[in-house]
Amino acid sequence: MLAMKRISHTHENTLSDFLSSKGWFEKKCISCGNRLFTKKRLGQSQENCERSKCSNNGNTFLKLSRRSRMLTIPMINDQIESFFKKNHFSRKDPMPMVNPNSKTDVIMAGVQILDGVIHGNDDVDNGRIFISQPSMRMQYQSLVKEFEGTSTSFVNICTEHMDATIENHLAYIDLWLTALSLLGLHMNDFKLVMRMSNKDWGTGAISSLELFFVYCDIELGDAAFAFIPHRDNKNLVISDIGFGLERIAWAVNKTPSYFDQIRPLSQTLPREYLDTCRSLSLLALTGIQAKNKGPGFQFRRFAKVLAIKYPSSCHAGVLEYYFSYWSQFIEPLVSLPAAMFAVNSEIGRLRNSRLADSFKESALENESTEDYLLRLFLARNATIDEIEVALKHERANT
Ligand SMILES: [Zn+2]
**Domain-located, residue 4:** no
E strand residue ranges, 183-233: 190-200, 205-215, 218-230
Q: Would you state the pLDDT for residue 66?
A: 85
Chain centroid to CA 293: 21
> Which residues on adjacent β-strands are paired with residue 219?
214
Q: Where a domain ends, among 195, 228, 260? A: 260
If asked whether residues 86 and 233 sit together in one domain, one would say yes
If asked whether residues 149 and 297 sit together in one domain, one would say no
If asked whether residues 63 and 166 sit together in one domain, one would say yes
Q: How many other CB atoms sit within 10 Å of the CB of residue 158?
A: 26
Rounded to 5 degrees, what angle do the CA atoms 27, 156, 237 make?
Answer: 65
**Domain-located, residue 231:** yes
**Domain-located, residue 56:** yes
204: left (phi over 0), alpha (psi -120 to 50) or beta: left
If asked whether residues 287 and 226 sit together in one domain, one would say no
CATH number (domain holding residue 249): 3.30.930.10
Q: Where a domain ends, among 201, 233, 260? A: 260
If asked whether residues 177 and 316 sit together in one domain, one would say no
Q: Would you state the pLDDT for residue 4?
A: 57
Please give the residue range of the domain that contains residue 64: 9-260
**Domain-located, residue 381:** yes
Are 389 and 366 in contact by the 8 Å Cβ rule? The answer is: no
From ligand 1's centre to the CA of 96, what distance in Å? 35
From ligand 1's centre to the CA of 108, what distance in Å? 24
Are 97 and 106 in contact by the 8 Å Cβ rule? The answer is: yes
Per-residue pLDDT in tens (0 to 9) along the chain, 398 residues: 445 578 888 999 999 999 999 999 999 999 999 999 999 876 677 788 999 888 877 899 999 988 889 999 999 999 999 999 999 999 999 999 998 778 889 999 999 999 888 888 888 888 999 999 999 999 889 899 888 999 999 999 999 999 999 999 999 999 999 999 999 999 999 999 999 998 876 666 789 999 999 999 999 999 999 998 887 777 899 999 999 999 999 999 999 999 999 999 998 899 999 999 999 999 999 999 999 999 999 999 999 999 999 987 889 999 999 999 999 999 999 999 999 999 999 999 999 998 888 888 889 988 889 899 999 888 888 888 888 888 888 888 76
Q: Where a domain ends, among 206, 241, 260? A: 260
E strand residue ranges, the chain: 25-29, 35-38, 46-47, 90-91, 128-136, 153-162, 190-200, 205-215, 218-230, 234-244
By DSSP bridging, strand 35-38 and strand 190-200 are antiparallel
If asked whether residues 311 and 329 sit together in one domain, one would say yes
From ligand 1's centre to the CA of 179, what distance in Å? 25
Q: Would you state the pLDDT for residue 1?
A: 45
**Domain-located, residue 3:** no
If asked whether residues 145 and 241 sit together in one domain, one would say yes
From ligand 1's centre to the CA of 391, what distance in Å? 49
Chain centroid to CA 249: 13
If asked whether residues 52 and 95 sit together in one domain, one would say yes
If asked whether residues 213 and 334 sit together in one domain, one would say no
From ligand 1's centre to the CA of 212, what distance in Å? 11
From ligand 1's centre to the CA of 226, what distance in Å? 21
From ligand 1's centre to the CA of 57, what distance in Å? 13
Rounded to 5 degrees, what angle do the CA atoms 106, 109, 111 make?
Answer: 120
From ligand 1's centre to the CA of 35, what distance in Å? 9
